[in-house]
Structures are given as C-alpha cells and as structure tokens.
C-alpha cells in the first residue's frame, strides 16, 4: 500500500549514504573497471597519442641538439603538431588559454605602482574546457558515423562460414579503428557449389579510406567471380581496376585469391603480394603459399602465376593479414613470423573454430593490454 504524501508517515527506505553515492558515481565513471585496468588503458592511450603526434617531430634534428635542449624541442614540436591538427579558430582559443595561464599571477609595475596580481586561471580553465567540449562533440559525431560505417562494412563480409563438404571454415577480424581495410570472404560463386572462393586482402592504409577501397574490391570480386572467371583472369581484371583507382600505386592492395574444388580437394591460388598463407599438413609439415605476383594497383600489366595444391584430411590452411605478425606488446616487440609459425606448428587436432581461437589466444597473450596497431584478420580452413 502506498503512503500518500503529507500523511506524516515517513518512508521506510533509508536515504543513500554519501559513501554509497560516491561509490555509484565512481562505478558510472569507470564502468566498473579496476584501477590496474584503468592505468593500463591510460598508458596505452598515452603511448598511442605520443606516437601519433611524435610522427611530426624531426627526430634526426633532435638528436643533433645537446641533450639538455632535446626535451624542450620535443615538447615544442609535439605542441605544434597538436595545434596544427585543430581548426584555425580553435588554434586561437588554445593559444589564448595558454597565454592566460602563463601570465596568471603576474604583477606589473607602472610608475612605481604595482598592478596585480592578475588571476586568469579560471578564464584559462574555461577556455580549455570549451575547447575540450568542441573536440569531444566532433569526436562523438564522427564516432556515430563510423559506427554506421562499421555496420555497413559487416554486411560486406560473411557473418557465418559457408558449409563445405569435407572441410570447415572459421574467421575473425579485429579492426584497429571502427572500420578496417582488411577483407576476408568465403563464398560459392554460383549455385552449383562445386567451387568455393576464399579470399583475404589488406588495403594499404587504415580506417575510412582503406574501408572504402575494401568495399569496391568486394563488389568487383563478387561480380567477376559470378561470371565464372578463372582465378588467373579474376586477379588480372581486379588488378586492372585497382590500378585505375590506386592513386598511382599509393593505395595498393595485397591479397590472396583461392578457389577450392570440393570434388577433387584441390585448391588453386594466386598470392598478390600478401603474407603467404601457411599450410600445416596433418603430419606437422609446414608449407607457404607464395606463388603469384605484385600487389593489386602497382602495375597495370602485371603478370600473375597460379599454383595448385591438394588438401588432405587433417590439413589446416591459415590465411592472415600482417596485423597478426606485426602485433606488438608494451615493450614494442613484434609477435613476428617465428612465434606465428610456432603457434601453427603446435596446433592441436581441433576443428576450424577451435583452431582459430587457439591462434588468436597466442597473439592476445603476447600483446597483453597494448592497443592494437593494425587491423587483424585470420581465416582458417581445415580439411576433414
């Protein structure tokens, strides 16, 4: 039974204690994360930001300076890099805030009369807060647009692997940003389902520009494959298209295109300058798929060689992008080809999904909490 207001009867629900309110506030701010996790995230953000602005520093010139001069020049160059990333109006606002903060507390003398001290801290803090709010509004708007772009991008790649007689497929991708330049696909070009296309590709660059080129690659690939083109013809036509839209080779694409014949268990492939897929035979022997040619978009008349291999029960074929082997830990060490080969060499006799999880776990254990530096994509094909 509810108690009407003004009845003189107090509610039995106790008021939240200040400590409870503070705890609830902290939970909302931190999203329930522990201090170690927050510090790791901050350290990763700080390293990423330093790397981002540090690209604008002329380190060769810095090394020529006396050691006690270097920190000042590094700080100056990083501040200048930060400043030039802003719009002109926001640059003025940032400079104004810095000047007000610098002169705050100064006392000036005029005709033996002291004027001051001037207190500009509050004005400077408000200017910094205004600048932060403007940048945050831009980031939130861009993040919303990128989330929409990411949703669209997920439509372009399969969410579930196709069923393959006598084989299994599993794949995973982790964009470095909201959208990626990595592309993977596994599909039947026609209704006969006797040919399975498997593709992995990596467009040079990251984020939105690479994602847009990835979308055009996907559309072109699906169209040409649907016409019944051979792997060699498909790659030649894709290269011709890529050369026309690669900005004189600056936006090239590395890729591996393969066609698996479900009846003969033979796989025909072309490696267009991509990280060579690794075939682990059932007996533990490793082979790499390297036959092909240049990346797409480099040379319009480039010739591509094809190769054919036969897959046997127990074989595992691993396609991957360079983000896997170039993943680095907090010490700046790369995961590297040796560790990747070692992980594949020690694969248990599991299904495709378990194999994929096994490999990604090895990368995750090495990287730890370090922020991802590139898109990571892996596709596993296991023959039964």
Residues 122 and 40 in one domain: yes
* Residues with Cβ within 8 Å of residue 379, at least 6 apart in sequence: 169, 170, 171, 184, 186, 198, 200, 318, 319, 320
Among residues 373, 375, 347, the alpha carbon closest in space to that of 361 is found at 347
Q: Are residues 71 and 164 in the same domain?
A: no
Longest dimension (CA), the chain: 99
Query: What pLDDT shows up at residue 279?
Result: 97
Q: What pLDDT is recorded for position 13? A: 52
Mean pLDDT value across the chain? 86
When pLDDT is averaged across residues 14-26 and rounded to a whole number, the result is 77
Count of alpha carbons within 13 angstroms of residue 16, beta-carbon side: 8
Q: Is residue 373 within 8 Å of 156, Cβ to Cβ?
A: no
The whole domain housing 171 covers 160-383
Strands of the sheet with 286-288, listed across from one edge: 167-174, 376-383, 316-320, 278-280, 286-288
Claim to verify: residue 190 and residue 209 sit in the same structural domain = yes
Burial class, 94, CB count within 10 angstroms (exposed 0-12 / middle 13-18 / buried 19+): middle
Whichever domain contains 193, its CATH number is 3.60.40.10
Residue 289 and residue 363 in one domain: yes
Domain-located, residue 369 = yes
Are β-strands 266-272 and 292-293 bridged in parallel, bridged antiparallel, or unpaired?
parallel
Whether residues 228 and 350 share a domain: the answer is yes
C-alpha span between 240 and 252 (Å, rounded): 12
pLDDT for position 14: 55
Confidence of residue 251 (pLDDT cuts 50, 70, 90): confident
At 212, the pLDDT band (50, 70, 90 cuts) reads confident
Higher pLDDT, residue 51 or 85: 85
pLDDT average, residue stretch 334-360: 94
Mind spelling out the 3-state secondary structure of 14-34?
CCCCHHHHHHHHHHHHHCCCC
Q: Are residues 320 and 179 in the same domain?
A: yes
Range 313-327 average pLDDT: 95
Asked whether residue 49 is domain-assigned, the answer is: yes
Looking at the fold, whether 259 and 136 belong to one and the same domain comes out as no
The C-alpha atoms of residue 10 and residue 197 are separated, in whole angstroms, by 72
Residue 2 located in a structural domain: no
How far apart are the C-alpha atoms of 179 and 188, rounded to whole Å?
25
Number of domains in the chain: 2
Asked whether residue 202 falls in the same domain as residue 226, the answer is yes
What is the number of alpha carbons within 13 Å of residue 99 lying toward its C-beta?
6
Contact assessment for residue 265 and residue 296, using Cβ atoms and an 8 Å cutoff: no
What is the C-alpha to C-alpha distance for residues 221 and 230, in angstroms, rounded to an integer?
12
3-state secondary structure of 325: helix
Q: Is residue 378 part of a domain?
A: yes
pLDDT at residue 59, as a whole number: 82
Give the Cα separation of 130 and 92 in Å (integer).
12
Confidence of residue 221 (pLDDT cuts 50, 70, 90): very high
Indicate whether 372 and 240 sit together in one domain.
yes
Average pLDDT over residues 69-80: 86
């Amino acid at each position: 039974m509810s108690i009407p207001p003004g009845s003189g009867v107090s509610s039995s629900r106790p008021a939240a204690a200040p400590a409870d309110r503070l705890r609830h506030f902290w939970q909302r701010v931190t999203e329930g994360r522990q201090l170690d996790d927050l510090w790791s995230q901050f350290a990763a953000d700080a390293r990423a930001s330093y790397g981002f602005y540090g690209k604008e520093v002329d380190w060769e010139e810095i090394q020529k300076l006396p050691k006690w001069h270097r920190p000042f020049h590094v700080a100056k160059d990083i501040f200048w890099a930060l400043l030039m990333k802003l719009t002109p109006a926001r640059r003025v606002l940032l400079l104004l805030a810095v000047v007000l903060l610098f002169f705050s507390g100064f006392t000036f003398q005029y005709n033996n009369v002291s004027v001051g001290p001037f207190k500009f801290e509050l004005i400077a803090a408000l200017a910094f807060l205004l600048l932060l709010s403007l940048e945050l509004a831009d980031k939130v708007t861009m993040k919303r647009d990128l989330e929409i772009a990411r949703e669209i991008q997920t439509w372009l790649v399969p969410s579930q692997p196709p069923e393959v007689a006598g084989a299994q497929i599993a794949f995973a991708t982790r964009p470095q940003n909201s959208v990626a330049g990595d592309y993977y696909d596994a599909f039947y070009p026609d209704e006969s389902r006797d040919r399975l296309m498997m593709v992995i590709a990596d467009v040079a660059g990251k984020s939105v520009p690479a994602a847009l080129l990835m979308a055009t690659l996907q559309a072109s690939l699906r169209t040409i494959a649907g016409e019944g083109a051979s792997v060699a013809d498909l790659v030649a036509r894709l290269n011709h298209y890529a050369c026309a839209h690669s900005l004189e080779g600056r936006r090239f694409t590395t890729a591996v295109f393969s066609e698996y014949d479900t009846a003969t268990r033979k796989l025909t492939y072309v490696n267009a300058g991509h990280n060579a897929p690794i075939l682990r035979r059932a007996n533990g022997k490793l082979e790499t798929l390297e036959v092909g040619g240049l990346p797409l978009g480099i040379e319009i008349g480039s010739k591509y060689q094809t190769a054919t291999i036969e897959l046997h029960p127990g074989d595992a074929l691993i396609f991957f992008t360079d983000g896997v082997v170039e993943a680095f830990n907090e010490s700046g060490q790369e995961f590297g080809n040796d560790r990747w080969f070692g992980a594949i060499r020690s694969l248990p006799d599991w299904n495709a999904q378990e194999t994929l999880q096994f490999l990604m776990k090895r990368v995750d254990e090495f990287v730890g909490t370090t922020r991802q530096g590139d898109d990571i994509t892996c596709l596993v094909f296991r023959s039964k």
